[in-house]
Structure 1
Amino acid sequence: MTTEPKAWESVLARIEERLVDGRLRPGDHLPPERALAAEFGVARSSVREAVRVLEAMGLIRTQTGSGPSSGAIIIARPQGGMEALMRLQVAASGFPVADVVSTRLLLESSVAGELAGHSPVDLADARQLLDAMDEPALTAPEFLALDARFHLALAEAAGNAVVATMMAGLRNSIEGYVLAGAERIPDWDAMAARLRAEHRGVIDAIDAGDPAAAHTRIHDHISGYYRDARTLSPSDPITDAR
């Protein structure tokens, strides 16, 4: 039995067609709600629902009022939408944590290896974050927030916007598990010192132009934290990305 798409889903499909064929581009305004409803033969409420979905996905920005910045504008900044989707899916057990960690390993090992293969690369932002993590007064949540930004800075340095967006979504989707894991570590200061050293080791491998070492070090760094923090159970499989 075939289920007919809902009216708002057909609106999404029509807007997608215009994005794909170039009739709509970042910076363009969507036509007014009334015009879209008439053109697509749907109720204005269906157009309104489609616009809400697009906004949640990070594809448009809406603003009330008049003038060039009002209405629905294509912005194509999917990071916020992807992060929200992954966070909700993990919370609802849609994405097992072990699968999220395995995907992080695949992406981040590839990023580290690529950076090392193209050394020298600009890692100024990543180095600045490492220096910030050297502050001894940092709490575990503060340290881990900088840690997340460090990993994202590596992805951004590699220059692949899709990978960087995916990594941000994956890391933020399990932020609660990461923090909970920190609370289960008996000696956080020792763990923080170890993570600092591992971060520096990854940067050293990239600077040395050694993709294999960079690949291995980031893999062991990520998987080691999750295992030691008991975020994953011993039976949880982790893809070996090496």
Structure 2
Amino acid sequence: MAQPLQPAEPPKARAFEAIVDHIERQVLSGELNPGEHLPGERELVTAFQVSRSSVREAMRVLESNGMIASRPGDPRGAVILAPTSGPLQKVISRLAQASASSLADLLIYRMTLESSANSLAATRRTEADLLQLEKAMARMRAARAQGQEAFSKADLDFHDVVANASGHALLRISAEAVRDSIEQLIAASIEQSPDDHALMQRTIDHHDQVFQAIRDQDAHLAEHLARSSLFEYYGHLLAKDEQIALSALASFGSNTR
């Protein structure tokens, strides 16, 4: 079988790739911040000594990656966006679809992320964080009467508040991405509770335990609650051998009190 040809030297980046790399480095280094505008197309053509098509392709890639947003009719250049979970969620979804044990892998990943977020929140939380958690709990209780969709949003809000209290931005973004990936993966197979009100109340009770652990700065209990709750909610969707493996992870730390 013929061997593939090896280039004599690494291929040079195409013009639009060089623009993308340069702008990404500026954003990551803090030279460009969310809310700031890039120069207009004509200025970028001059600055990089490239064609308009190269600049337009670079802007398309950056926008696809969620790094910038173009606003039609705005005479200024594209605006730099704050980091979101969107691009990472796409990557995780692709990996999950290619994995033979995707749900189990995603649950392990989510258990790791959310238990870490809970633990850090318990360690780092401020009085302002506790106030936000109390408000999130109040929204969850009020949402019971508004239906499952409203309750789910209030539930997600609580997790976001905990992630923010952890003080770890990458944890927050990663947890949001894997959470969305799990919901996409099981959308067609997840069982609906015959008693939504009972499920909502159980969720509220669990979140109240998490709130108390964070308030009391009990990091070990806070991280255990994240793992055990996720296994309780999703474990029945796993194969038996996977249930056994994740059960051990879910129960780890249960004797901390």
TM over 0.5: yes
Q: CA deviation at 1:101?
A: 2.3
Name the structure 2 match of 1:152: 160
CA RMSD of superposed structures (Å): 3.1
Q: Which of 79, 83, 89 in structure 2 is aligned with 1:78?
A: 83
CA contact (8 A) 1:114 1:211 kept: yes
Name the structure 2 match of 1:220: 228
CA distance in 2, matches of 1:41, 1:49: 15
2:126 is the counterpart of 1:126: no
Which range moved further: 174-183 or 217-226?
A: 174-183
Give the residue type in structure 1 aligned to 2:123. Answer: G
Give the residue type in structure 2 aligned to 1:101. Answer: L
CA distance in 2, matches of 1:132, 1:162: 26
Which structure has the larger Rg over C-alpha atoms?
Answer: 2
Percent identity of paired positions between Structure 1 and Structure 2 = 32
Name the structure 2 match of 1:93: 97
More helix by share: 2
After superposition, the Cα gap between the structure-2 partners of 1:219 and 1:37, relative to the gap in structure 1 and judged at 3 Å, is same
After superposition, the Cα gap between the structure-2 partners of 1:12 and 1:211, relative to the gap in structure 1 and judged at 3 Å, is same
Which range moved further: 207-216 or 113-122?
A: 113-122
Name the structure 2 match of 1:113: 119
After superposition, the Cα gap between the structure-2 partners of 1:187 and 1:50, relative to the gap in structure 1 and judged at 3 Å, is same
CA contact (8 A) 2:66 2:87 kept: no
Give the residue type in structure 1 aligned to 2:204. Answer: R
Q: Which of 54, 59, 65 in structure 1 is aligned with 2:62?
A: 54
After superposition, the Cα gap between the structure-2 partners of 1:154 and 1:34, relative to the gap in structure 1 and judged at 3 Å, is same
Which range moved further: 158-167 or 204-213?
A: 158-167
CA distance in 2, matches of 1:235, 1:8: 48
Name the structure 2 match of 1:36: 44
Q: CA deviation at 1:54?
A: 1.5
After superposition, the Cα gap between the structure-2 partners of 1:202 and 1:220, relative to the gap in structure 1 and judged at 3 Å, is same
SS of corresponding position for 1:30:
coil
CA distance in 1, matches of 2:30, 2:204: 46
Q: CA deviation at 1:201?
A: 0.9
CA distance in 2, matches of 1:195, 1:23: 43
Q: CA deviation at 1:211?
A: 1.3
SS of corresponding position for 2:151:
helix
Q: Within 5 Å, which residues of 2 pair with 1:159-174?
A: 159-174=167-182
Q: CA deviation at 1:198?
A: 1.0
After superposition, the Cα gap between the structure-2 partners of 1:20 and 1:195, relative to the gap in structure 1 and judged at 3 Å, is closer
CA contact (8 A) 1:87 1:174 kept: no
- Which segments of 5 or more consecutive residues in structure 2 lack a partner in the other structure? 1-5, 253-257
Q: Which of 175, 178, 183 in structure 1 is aligned with 2:191?
A: 183
CA distance in 2, matches of 1:207, 1:89: 32
What is the aligned length? Answer: 235
Q: What is the TM-score normalised by the length of structure 1?
A: 0.79
Which range moved further: 145-154 or 9-18?
A: 9-18
After superposition, the Cα gap between the structure-2 partners of 1:62 and 1:205, relative to the gap in structure 1 and judged at 3 Å, is same
Q: What is the TM-score normalised by the length of structure 2?
A: 0.75
Compare relative contact order (CA 8 Å, sep 6+) and give the higher one, 1 or 2: 1
Q: Deviations over 1:61-100 (max 9, x none)?
A: 3223355xx321334x111xx3254147526715733333
2:149 is the counterpart of 1:141: yes
Q: CA deviation at 1:234?
A: 3.5
